[in-house]
Amino acid sequence: MSAVVRTFVVSLVLALAGGHAVAAGDGPVPAWPERLQGHGGPVRSVVLDGDDGRALTTSFDYSVILWAFEAGEGRVVHRMIGHEAAANDAAFAGGKRAVSVGDDGAVILWNLADGAMLDRIDTGEDKTLAVSVSADRRFAVTASWDRTARIYALEGDRLSERAVLEGHRGNVNAAEFSSDGSRVFTASYDGAIRVFDRETGELLREVYSHGWGVNVMALLPGETHLAFGATDGAVAVVDIAQGSVFKQLASHERPVLSLALSHDGSRLASGGGDGRIRLYDTGEWGLLEEFENPYGPVWGLALPADGTVALYAGLDDHVNIWQVAPRKPFEPVDSQFPRRFQVSAEDDLGRRQFARKCSVCHTLTPDGGNRAGPTLYGVFGRRVGTLPGYPYSPALKRLDFVWNEQTISDLFDHGPDVVTPGSKMPIQRLRSDEERDALVAYLKHATAPAEGDAARQGEQKQ
């Protein structure tokens, strides 16, 4: 079946089922925004709530954003700051709550009514990659680089650890509850998919061994099958009882980084490091549509119920929205390339080091943006931890020195763990005197306030 025919069939079926989509080119499309713009760093994940009226996104800028869809626009309801490193995943948890995890190893419970942090558990220094919540909203399970999955009870405004699922020989990359919440499926870099008893934490059995690392997983309705994506690009559906591959889907040219299942289980999408997204019908496992973003990987995917779009996230500071049905004959990718952190070897050495080491977290402009760190505009001569409006860590607020050529050079010579211990800045160093001096020189020029701003800053210091 051709792509054009597939598009017509999907659109027509949705229309007959009461959805908004119609045959390609014949009528209105539901009002979805073109993108979700609000993060200050690459977006790691996107998830929709049960009625597709809200979304949660996580980002390298350390934040979790709650979105509301209104009149064709995506509105930022709350920008929730609490992680001290990249926020990797989030899940709605019922009762106006959400759970998020990040590179800092923290598991955070949020109040979606006001965006406040309700509770936080620090699991250690290992990254926590994924989180899922049981259908009854009583439990959450996290997947961690410490080779474990951890189960937490969601008790009002508190998190309570109940079990640690152990035995994998590599990072646990994904974890998901059975529909009744009694079992937990885990997928690991060791290539194994396992199932555990939720209450006791006991390993029940190994469901399947792929050989290559398994990055993502989705349990299909009926729970007789599950889909997975792996580091070798493989996408497959496994018969859980038989422990064998039931359906092999099209492979990606690079690791599979995301899977999304529609709420009714009728559609599955895979996203890879090759920038490709493939959308399947889970009834006959036919390929419905395919999309390619040539500008980078697909880290996060979400499929709303109406079947008209797919939301995807990657190296951009925003979530892109691909119109699936009715499919446009040509849909250009609205992304800037190269990004600010993708520079060539021909660029100025100092600018190159800023792009690679600093630009994901910091801007050079007065307005600062919403990145993980404060703007560096006017940083020379500013006392550490004093930029108004930025939520500095308590450790940084306690420090007492001024940023200048020497202290900034020391930061990259000795590392943030030495110069700003306890701060949120990721550990990175520049051993080369030449590179360090070039970075400092570039920053001194690029962050210098304009003449009027400099005069005002001088007055404030007095």
> What are the chain's domains?
3-323 (2.130.10.10), 349-461 (1.10.760.10)
Give the residue among 77, 153, 143, 62 at the shortest CA–CA distance from 111.
77
User: DSSP of 31-94, one letter per residue?
Assistant: ---SEEE--SS-EEEEEE-TTSSEEEEEETTSEEEEEEEETTEEEEEEEEE--SS-EEEEEE-S
What would the pLDDT profile of 4-18 be if each residue is shown by its tens digit?
Answer: 334 333 333 333 333
Buried b (16+ CB within 10 A) or exposed e, 175-186: bbbeeebebbbb
pLDDT score of 108: 98
pLDDT score of 334: 67
Question: C-alpha angle with apex 253: 249 to 255, nearest 5 degrees?
Answer: 85
Give the residue among 356, 383, 359 at the shortest CA–CA distance from 373.
359
Q: Is the peptide bond before 338 cis (omega within 30 degrees of 0)?
A: yes
- pLDDT digit string (tens) for the chain, length 462 residues: 433 334 333 333 333 333 333 333 344 455 899 999 999 889 999 999 999 999 999 999 899 999 999 988 999 999 999 998 899 999 999 989 999 999 999 999 999 999 999 999 999 889 999 999 999 999 999 999 999 999 999 999 999 999 999 999 999 999 999 999 999 999 999 999 999 999 999 999 999 999 999 999 999 999 999 999 999 999 999 999 999 999 999 999 999 999 999 999 999 999 999 999 999 999 999 999 999 988 889 999 999 999 999 999 998 899 999 999 988 766 767 666 565 555 555 568 888 888 877 877 888 888 766 677 888 999 999 999 999 888 788 888 899 999 999 999 999 998 888 898 877 677 677 888 998 999 999 999 999 987 545 434 443 443
Strand, coil or helix: 448: coil
One-letter amino acid at 11 equals: S
Q: What are phi and psi of 8, to 5 degrees?
A: -60, -45
Residue pair 380/447 in contact by the 8 Å Cβ criterion: yes
> Six-digit token pair at 214?
């398994």
Give the residue among 294, 291, 266, 292 at the shortest CA–CA distance from 280.
266
- Chain centre distance of CA 452: 39
Give the integer Cα–Cα distance in Å for 322 and 275.
13
Give the integer Cα–Cα distance in Å for 232 and 253.
8
Strand, coil or helix: 15: helix
Q: What is the pTM of this model?
A: 0.81
Q: Which residues pair with 111 in a beta bridge?
A: 97, 116
Give, as one character, the DSSP assignment of residue 383: B
Residue pair 123/152 in contact by the 8 Å Cβ criterion: no
Give the integer Cα–Cα distance in Å for 314 and 298.
5
- Chain centre distance of CA 369: 19
Give the integer Cα–Cα distance in Å for 145 and 157.
26
Give the integer Cα–Cα distance in Å for 236 and 245.
7
Give the residue among 216, 213, 165 at the shortest CA–CA distance from 189.
213
Q: Is the peptide bond before 426 cis (omega within 30 degrees of 0)?
A: no
Residue pair 105/128 in contact by the 8 Å Cβ criterion: yes
One-letter amino acid at 385 equals: G
E strand residue ranges, 182-234? 183-188, 192-197, 203-209, 214-219, 225-230
Find the length of the chain. 462
Angle, helix 433-446 to helix 349-357, in steps of 10 degrees: 90
